[in-house]
Structure 1
Amino acid sequence: MRLRFGLAVAMWCGLAGGVFAQSTAAQSTSLKPLQAMPYSPSLNVADMDKSVDPCVDFYQYSCGGWIKSNPIPADQAAWSVYGKLAQDNLQFLWGILVDASKATNRTPSEQKVGDYFGACMDEDSINKRGLAPLKPLLTRIDGLKTREELVAYLPALHHEQVGNFFFGSGSGQDLGDSSQVIAFIAAGGLGLPDRDYYTKTDAKSEETRAKYVAYIAQQLTLAGEPKATAEADAAAIMKIETTLAKASLTRVERRDPYKEYHKMSVEDLGKLTPSIDWNRYFVAQNVPGVKSLNVNQPDFQKALQTELTAEPLPALKAYLRFHAITAAASSLSKDFDEAQFNFYSKYLRGVQQQQPRWKRCTRQVDNMLGEALGQEFVRRTFGPDTKAKTVKMTDEVEQAMAGEIKGLSWMGDATKQRAIEKLHMVRNKIGYPDTWRDYSKLEVKADDYFDNMLRASLFEDQRQWAKVGKPVDKNEWDMTPPTVNAYYNPQMNDINFPAGVLQPPLYDAKLDDAPNYGNTGSTIGHELTHAFDDEGRQFDGAGNLKDWWTKEDAEGFEKQINCLRDQFATYTIVDDIKINSKLTSGEDVADLGGTLIAYIAWKKATENQRLAPVEGFTPDQRFFIGFAQWACENQRPENLRVSAITNPHSPGYARINGIVTNMPEFATAFGCKKGQPMVKEAVCKVW
């Protein structure tokens, strides 16, 4: 699927990250649609391993029981507390969709989600069609006779089809004026997860590139190419992608928003990539008359120009064919789908078997029609009482954050005043959007799965392009209501907590406050802290890319976070691979700051209460155990290797042990002594 490349979307930081987002359901043929959400407490003593000294390894102490009793399901790359909740949400959505697909007197929304799901579940029809749904596009590509014809086809190709064709495009907030939406042109065109896969020279990277070339050839062969031709085309495609990768910024470089903000005219873009008629390109996307836009990576556009003018026409056509096939593979017959699974999931991430159809179809409806499906999820799972309590907690955490900013020793008064102003401008979006998305113009048919997918993708594509030249809609969400995650958007300057993440065991209205503040409170604090991390701090309260720090305070901030970077760089992810703490520092700082301010907010909220031990643990101990148990996880080594390159979040054990070692409150709660592993002599403190 073609990604949206507005920087606001690309930059937002969620608590869970890629690992948890992928852990959506356990493989089990006995699973059935849920009619009610199951209950799991937010602090579960059975998930602990009390044989471990909490002052030696707090993560194992808090999560050891969970880790032992929750092996990774065969269809997953990783498994976690977030993943198990996502499984429950997915099963519950499955029940909603089964009902919607069978009902007779349906609302328009029920018809769309029910028919989309039903068509997706009809594997026999999908398999019978084979490659047929994609053949018109492949025939069109094969019919391109000249390089000029191929380049001239790119505007229509980007508009009419899904696929990662050479570069990315879309709409996004203007980094210099966050109130307006402008067009974006971005780097893209790669089939491997990150540009580093093309540039690293270690043995595993060499093996991965060879496997990828074999996958390209396999898909081309399935589409009808002779084996020898497919292998030659695969090598040519890899050459093109390698050139594009080398011209792309690294993930660490992309943490600096200034490196991805290059506002220019269409004429200036034309000087970078003159082969493409950019005025014609924007007309094809239904946004004629674009005056200025953001080009995320100008050097990439120069490299693209070289590729479009120097690569042989057959290689360019092969590239388009492959990217059309691989983008559509999961919506085609089983042979294409399995080939894609075997490379991206089985080889790259270690997943043992394909997920059952109901999970994949349920997730796709959530992706394509998430706010139509989400309305019913919210109605059944997220009552006004839960919303009121989480809104109250959010306000309390924000007040604690304000207090911490005022007391910082390394920040001057002028910057503190601006920071407080920005904090009070943060919009708190809890549960679901105030206004639901209108899908009335999207046609969904009961017997047309591939075209449903294509129409839904184009519907979203057109919805995004239609924003260009218009004011920003600050009520919009970038996650669907059932999603088990949360995020901060620096250009919107808002924190977003979908209803899906505010369910037990993450938020548990039945339990005492301590674990809820440790878990959900620290999540709220985590997202608030992103407003002031190495990326978020570069945006002002209105969401504009603007330096509002004094030079001395900016240097002081870097000194504070370098302490945490140095600490996390010592942690091992897998084998001998250490955390790339320059990539993870934003999340690591948010984990530390978020937990501290949640602790302060909890203490303030309960200052007039007499808190008693529960289940043998003091209130302070329950706060920290609740904080730790959200991060219980198991991951496959293959997935950890991918995460080491692509994931801005540290692995679970580091996100817990690395944080509590910097909190004297933890050492006091558990009676830890100097010299024990969970006690640092010199703690890191940012907020």
Structure 2
Amino acid sequence: MPGCNVLAAAAASGMRCNGNARSLTMESMCKVAASKHDKRQESQLPTTSTTSTTTSTGCGLGIDERTGRLHWCPGYRFVKILFVIPAAMLPIGLLFLLLSRFQVVGSVGLGCGGEVGSFAEESPLGGNVLDGDGFEWLDQTTTMTNGEQLCQPISKGLGESVDTEDRGLLRDIVRTSFIPAERRVFPAGCLPRESPQPERSQVPVRRRRGLAKRSLSWIDDSRSSPESIRAAQVEIMRQYMDLQADPCEDFYQYACGNWDRVNPIPKDKAALDTFELLRESLDLVLKNLLLGEESASSSTVGEEELGVPEVGNALSTVRSKTTTTTTTTTADPSLDVPLHRVRKRVRRWRRRKGKRAVQNKLIIRTTQVKRVRKSVPPSRIKVNMTETDDAETKARHLFVSCMNYELIEKRGLEPLRALLDSFGGWPLLDPTWNDTGFDWLNLTAHIRRYNNDVLIVEWVGPDIKNSDENIVQFDQTTLGLPTREYYLQPANRKYLDAYREFMVEVIELLGVPPDTARRATDEMIEFEVQLANITNPPEERNNVSTLYRKLILENLHDEVPEIDWTRYLAIVTERPVNASDFVVMFAMGYMQDLVELIGQTESRIVANYLLWRFVRHRINNLDDRFLGAKQRFSNALFGREKNPPRWKNCVTQVNANMGMAVGAMFVRRYFDENSKKDTLTMTHELQEAFREILAQTEWIDAATKRLAEQKVNAMSLRIGYPNFILSQADLNARYATLTVHPERYFENTLAVLSHIRRSDQEKLGQVVNKTAWHTAPAVVNAYYSRNKNQIMFPAGILQPPFYHRHFPRSINYGGIGVVIGHELTHGFDDKGRLFDRDGNLYRWWSDGAIEAFHERAACLVQQYGRYTIDEIGVQLDGETTQGENIADNGGIKQAFLAYTKWLAAQTDPRVLALETLPGLNVTNTQLFFLNFAQIWCGAMRPEATRNKLKTAVHSPGRFRVIGTLSNSEDFAREYRCPVGSHMNPADKCSVW
């Protein structure tokens, strides 16, 4: 056929052209040439001889059938002009060429079969430009990429616990979060994964959107009308719903039944839910801020990011030309560039950065996140390369040093060896090491100065029985694996073996002979198993009153004389310590067993173990060999095959450790102050709703009610961000003692850890600042602090689907309103009720109220304990999740009451008319519950679910919806569910 002749001619002339090609380089030119040739041949069939040269009165490519070569038609106007116009017009011609340099065709292609259709355009790098996908460059492969940052089994920021309220015991008794903490012991993304979902249940790759684009952007675009915002939300909500499901039988299926189809779990994740989509979007925004690209949108990834601005310009043209699919073959003026010039430009582009640069920039959009590059050159980031007092510049320095993999690789083991030498050497690396003068307590204290807790967990924070006083507190150790059960239960032997192999591989990479490495590892594993055995299991630590012991150091010396507590604290705090100073101990029995275990163990083994626990975190700052070893351990432990790009881990580290500096950039650029005002107003409304519910509660006596009302009135509210971050002087002062260099990632890590530890210890002797923030503003979560009686809503959560100023109030109350009620109820759950209005652990409930509370809480424990996750055949633990279940049930009741009171106060019919969303066919009150349910849409791989349930305090999203709504009279009434249906059982559980 004619089209095939053209393609063959193109191939003969040295151009790559095949039926499957979709490149914007030579391939698309071939197809367009074929398109034009066929159209001319069809129009000239009656008069044109088959032996003559192809001609056309229009502009375009022709084919000389005598030679079979593709060439410009003799009558081509643009060529004539260039040769006829005098030399004086030459500049105009050059200008025209420059302007049209990167004009490329739309989506028109013609195959050998002669059928006209659309095809996905590619950049010269080979990446498909998927419609609507503006966030990630994705890769379909599953092989590990060198230089990728890996899952950190002990992770919060740089691998250490950097927020005292998230450490050990306090994570359970001091602060609770609306969703599982982002910086948990094992990130959700690191959990095991099973076989991929069936392809038939997944959206085709080309229809799949970037993670950040699967939810409505919270960046308030002034060009977006309220109508367009609402219309977008309708589309998002409707695509998740299963309209065939009965909302009175399974409301989660009704609200989220299509989630798996729309959002299949990427191969680099163990789970994907609404919160993960929001974090993906937020991470990209933070990356752009750290790069100094404050004008970048969260919804697009500019190709300039890759250091290829010309390709970015070309792809911008592609996007502008491929918004619709066309079936015409009319000649396009943008093709008016001779083929030899096209070839020249492609060759010039390929030479531009060199072969290695091109390979590093290779990006393929498919179904998985792929690291774009190992590092970002310092020139990409708008920072000075010298020391600075500016906090935001320090954050950017930390980010660029993390991204500069080439330099990290070049420095090798030098920084680590210098650090180990400062500790007196590591026996594993020093054959001449002897235990003369070895002091395990001294080494433990110096490791603690880098914010690492090994053997002894120590921090300075509010005394839970006197919340105005900061005091030194001690607790039992953390371990190398998530829980003690990983060491002690035979069923977990495979995880312990994986940990062992990981240790051996790392030690060998440090230059230790294999036999020596394995022998030393076996000794350390044996020691850690014994260490796990002397830690108290979680079920023995539920009653904090029995664990709490406040005493002076002198008395602590009497209890555990083998430990010189005064000397330990003097090293850690870098200040004089008196034997009369008070401390709090939560693990006295453990400390006594610890010194006995150390006394029975060789000093060399103890030294090896202490430094192993420290080196384990530091390999995050080393080259790919060590990260590869860690990946293999993570894969064996959690089944994770693919990792996020390096930049995402670097963003997480910077935000975790310099969160206020990052938050300042975020708030100034993106935060809408109206959301702060609205949230504050809604919080006051929720407090009023709780007071009304409390007044109607019959199982609490009047005296306890009065104290409970005083507590809810005394709750302090922290919304958005702390004001000091917008003061450059105050922000700089917070990081004044921190020095960060853009080319010293290893040293920067140590400097950040030391800074966090100093900031923690400096609180000793100071009155507790109950207005202080301990959470970065740019996070997607919400918190309640028990010993501060404080609710905190960071700026990162004030975004869709929780809140938008153009949303109906029904959605906002069903979103952020429920979050507010959830956190407020935490002040009165199974642990929160133990603390009074001032945040002190105090028995302020009457005996009768306590008994009635336990009776109602037991109902929830039994209800959630009956739920079974069918995929793995495991029942929920209603006991460990009862605090969150109480908060969920109380929060939605308060939020709906507050919403109905707001409705009753409205007199303008135009306001009420905006309370529904056209196209969803639900009432405004039904929309409230629908948005609440869709907040918990998500999916998790079976093995990930199995592991998460071992330590989870939150129920899975499905049961946060079903459990909460099946207890709601309001829900049953608004959806008209008959009594006895699954979502409206006759017997319901209720605490608040």
TM bucket, shorter chain: over 0.9
* 1:297 paired residue among 573, 587, 600: 587
- Provide the secondary structure at the position in 1 that maps to 2:473: strand
* 1:80 paired residue among 253, 258, 273: 273
Cα distance in 2 for partners of 1:2, 1:86 equals: 21
Distance 1:358 1:433, change over 3 A: same
Distance 1:18 1:656, change over 3 A: same
The answer for the alignment partner of 1:129 in structure 2 is 411
1:128 deviates by 2.4
* 2:783 paired residue among 468, 480, 487: 487
Amino acid at match of 2:487: Y
Cα distance in 2 for partners of 1:360, 1:159 equals: 24
Cα distance in 2 for partners of 1:428, 1:252 equals: 32
The answer for the alignment partner of 1:336 in structure 2 is 626
Per-residue CA shift, 1:652-686, capped at 9, x if unaligned? 10111011110121112222123322122210010
1:167 deviates by 2.0
Q: Which moved more, 1:676-685 or 1:95-104?
A: 95-104
Distance 1:552 1:199, change over 3 A: farther
Residue 413 of structure 1 pairs with residue 697 of structure 2 = no
- Provide the secondary structure at the position in 2 that maps to 1:211: helix
Cα distance in 2 for partners of 1:570, 1:206 equals: 29
The answer for the alignment partner of 1:51 in structure 2 is 244
Q: Which moved more, 1:609-618 or 1:100-109?
A: 100-109
Cα distance in 2 for partners of 1:564, 1:487 equals: 22
Which runs of no fewer than 5 residues in structure 1 stay unpaired? Answer: none
- Provide the secondary structure at the position in 2 that maps to 1:457: helix
The answer for the alignment partner of 1:453 in structure 2 is 749
The answer for the alignment partner of 2:226 in structure 1 is none
- Provide the secondary structure at the position in 1 that maps to 2:457: strand
The answer for the alignment partner of 1:359 in structure 2 is 648
Contact 2:462 2:470 in 1 (8 A): yes
TM-score by length of 2: 0.66
- Provide the secondary structure at the position in 1 that maps to 2:461: strand
1:236 deviates by 2.3
The answer for the alignment partner of 2:180 in structure 1 is 17
Distance 1:98 1:621, change over 3 A: same
1:207 deviates by 1.9
The answer for the alignment partner of 1:236 in structure 2 is 523
Residue 646 of structure 1 pairs with residue 951 of structure 2 = yes
Residue 113 of structure 1 pairs with residue 395 of structure 2 = yes
1:261 deviates by 1.8
Matches within 5 A, 1:566-605: 566-573=862-869, 575-605=872-902
Per-residue CA shift, 1:448-489, capped at 9, x if unaligned? 011111101110111001101211111222220010001100
The answer for the alignment partner of 1:538 in structure 2 is 834
* 1:146 paired residue among 410, 413, 435: 435
Aligned residues: 683
1:110 deviates by 3.0
The answer for the alignment partner of 1:102 in structure 2 is 381
1:519 deviates by 1.4
1:112 deviates by 0.7
Amino acid at match of 2:698: S
The answer for the alignment partner of 1:425 in structure 2 is 714
Contact 1:378 1:499 in 2 (8 A): yes
Q: Which moved more, 1:445-454 or 1:641-650?
A: 641-650
The answer for the alignment partner of 1:674 in structure 2 is 979
Larger radius of gyration: 2
- Provide the secondary structure at the position in 1 that maps to 2:743: coil
* 2:261 paired residue among 61, 68, 72: 68
Cα distance in 2 for partners of 1:648, 1:362 equals: 27
Cα distance in 2 for partners of 1:564, 1:200 equals: 30
Amino acid at match of 2:520: D
Q: Which moved more, 1:485-494 or 1:70-79?
A: 70-79
1:413 deviates by 0.8
Per-residue CA shift, 1:479-528, capped at 9, x if unaligned? 20010001100001101000001112221221101121111111111111
Residue 279 of structure 1 pairs with residue 600 of structure 2 = no
The answer for the alignment partner of 1:207 in structure 2 is 494
Contact 1:35 1:95 in 2 (8 A): no
Cα distance in 1 for partners of 2:498, 2:577 equals: 44
Distance 1:99 1:425, change over 3 A: same
Cα distance in 2 for partners of 1:220, 1:30 equals: 39
Contact 1:56 1:677 in 2 (8 A): yes
TM-score by length of 1: 0.94
Q: Which moved more, 1:7-16 or 1:590-599?
A: 7-16
Distance 1:401 1:31, change over 3 A: closer
Amino acid at match of 1:103: K
Distance 1:147 1:263, change over 3 A: farther
The answer for the alignment partner of 2:474 in structure 1 is 185
The answer for the alignment partner of 1:41 in structure 2 is 233
* 2:989 paired residue among 680, 684, 687: 684
Amino acid at match of 1:350: G
Contact 2:505 2:629 in 1 (8 A): yes
Cα distance in 1 for partners of 2:834, 2:210 equals: 50
- Provide the secondary structure at the position in 2 that maps to 1:46: helix
- Provide the secondary structure at the position in 2 that maps to 1:506: coil
- Provide the secondary structure at the position in 2 that maps to 1:492: coil
Amino acid at match of 1:510: H
Amino acid at match of 2:820: I
Contact 2:446 2:571 in 1 (8 A): no
Amino acid at match of 1:288: P
Structure with more contact order per residue of length (Cα contacts < 8 Å, sep ≥ 6): 1
* 1:217 paired residue among 488, 500, 504: 504
Residue 627 of structure 1 pairs with residue 932 of structure 2 = yes
1:23 deviates by 6.2
Cα distance in 1 for partners of 2:443, 2:233 equals: 52
Contact 2:211 2:277 in 1 (8 A): no
- Provide the secondary structure at the position in 2 that maps to 1:464: helix
- Provide the secondary structure at the position in 1 that maps to 2:979: coil
Which runs of no fewer than 5 residues in structure 2 stay unpaired? Answer: 1-158, 191-204, 222-228, 294-379, 428-432, 726-730
- Provide the secondary structure at the position in 1 that maps to 2:630: helix
Cα distance in 1 for partners of 2:774, 2:539 equals: 23
- Provide the secondary structure at the position in 2 that maps to 1:653: helix
Contact 1:195 1:250 in 2 (8 A): yes
Cα distance in 2 for partners of 1:141, 1:582 equals: 46
Cα distance in 2 for partners of 1:350, 1:155 equals: 33
Amino acid at match of 1:331: N
Cα distance in 2 for partners of 1:117, 1:75 equals: 23
Amino acid at match of 1:578: Q
The answer for the alignment partner of 1:247 in structure 2 is 534
1:136 deviates by 2.7
Contact 1:63 1:629 in 2 (8 A): yes
Superposition RMSD in Å: 2.6
The answer for the alignment partner of 1:372 in structure 2 is 661
Q: Which moved more, 1:45-54 or 1:218-227?
A: 218-227
Matches within 5 A, 1:375-386: 375-386=664-675
Cα distance in 1 for partners of 2:803, 2:663 equals: 19
Amino acid at match of 1:261: Y
Matches within 5 A, 1:491-510: 491-510=787-806
Q: Which moved more, 1:69-78 or 1:3-12?
A: 3-12
Contact 2:460 2:472 in 1 (8 A): yes
Per-residue CA shift, 1:65-84, capped at 9, x if unaligned? 22321122233232111111
Q: Which moved more, 1:150-159 or 1:629-638?
A: 150-159
Cα distance in 2 for partners of 1:350, 1:520 equals: 34
Contact 1:257 1:535 in 2 (8 A): no
Amino acid at match of 1:642: N
